[in-house]
């Protein structure tokens, strides 16, 4: 996604207001630019316990996260999984007001429920919460 903004500078010159010449000059600057990529790797440790690692990049903001996940119920018709992790984000800010931190810790909590209703339908509900520890 890209957003640009045009700023216009107008000036008037001449001997009087009635005969003034107006100059109009526009300057276009790219104001917002957003790119992102997210990756996640899951590895089974045992039948119910697993670990995960994820990484993300948003424009120029690297972030990493690692944690554990556990299958509380893992049956044919019902599955319930939770995971939790901690991470770190490092930002390169364009403008840094005094006292601004460029890096901070993050956390992730997740839960996923799968319930097979009929032979061809599955109800899936997933909740993920991620935030800064700052």
Helices (H), 5-127: none
Considering the domain architecture, whether residues 101 and 42 belong to the same structural domain is answered as yes
Work out the number of other CB atoms within 10 angstroms of the CB of residue 114: 16
Considering the domain architecture, whether residues 109 and 87 belong to the same structural domain is answered as yes
Considering the domain architecture, whether residues 86 and 27 belong to the same structural domain is answered as no
Give residue 81's domain range: 36-132
pTM of the full predicted structure?
0.55
Considering the domain architecture, whether residues 60 and 82 belong to the same structural domain is answered as yes
Distance of CA 78 to CAs 33, 74, 99, 122, Å? Answer: 42, 6, 49, 9
pLDDT of residue 22: 82
Q: Are 116 and 122 in contact (CB under 8 A)?
A: yes
In this predicted model, which residue has the larger pLDDT, 67 or 132?
Answer: 67
Considering the domain architecture, whether residues 105 and 44 belong to the same structural domain is answered as yes
Considering the domain architecture, whether residues 27 and 41 belong to the same structural domain is answered as no
Considering the domain architecture, whether residues 28 and 41 belong to the same structural domain is answered as no
Considering the domain architecture, whether residues 44 and 78 belong to the same structural domain is answered as yes
Q: What is the pLDDT of residues 70-99, one digit of tens each?
A: 999 999 999 999 999 998 887 766 777 777
SS3 15: coil
Considering the domain architecture, whether residues 101 and 70 belong to the same structural domain is answered as yes
Mean pLDDT of 58-67: 71
Q: What is the pLDDT of residues 96-131, one digit of tens each?
A: 777 777 788 889 999 999 999 988 888 999 998 888
As given in the structure block, the two tokens for residue 8 are 């216009």
Contacts of 62 (CB under 8 A, 6+ apart): 55, 56, 89, 90
pLDDT of residue 68: 95
Q: Tell me the pLDDT band of 60, cut-offs 50, 70 and 90.
A: low
pLDDT of residue 110: 94
Number of domains in the chain: 2
Q: What is the pLDDT of residues 14-48, one digit of tens each?
A: 888 778 888 888 777 665 555 677 788 888 899 99
Considering the domain architecture, whether residues 67 and 94 belong to the same structural domain is answered as yes
């Amino acid at each position: 996604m890209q957003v640009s903004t045009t700023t216009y500078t107008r000036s008037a010159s001449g001997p009087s207001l009635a005969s003034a010449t107006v100059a109009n000059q526009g300057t276009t600057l790219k104001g917002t630019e957003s790119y992102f990529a997210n990756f996640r790797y899951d590895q089974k440790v045992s039948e119910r316990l697993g670990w995960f690692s994820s990484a993300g990049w948003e424009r120029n903001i690297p972030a990493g996260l690692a944690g554990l996940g556990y299958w509380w119920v893992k049956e044919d018709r019902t599955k319930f999984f939770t995971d939790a992790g901690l991470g770190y984000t490092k930002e390169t800010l364009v403008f840094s007001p005094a006292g601004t931190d460029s890096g901070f810790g993050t956390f992730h909590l997740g839960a996923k429920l799968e319930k097979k209703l009929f032979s061809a339908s599955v109800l899936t509900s997933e909740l993920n919460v991620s935030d800064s520890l700052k």
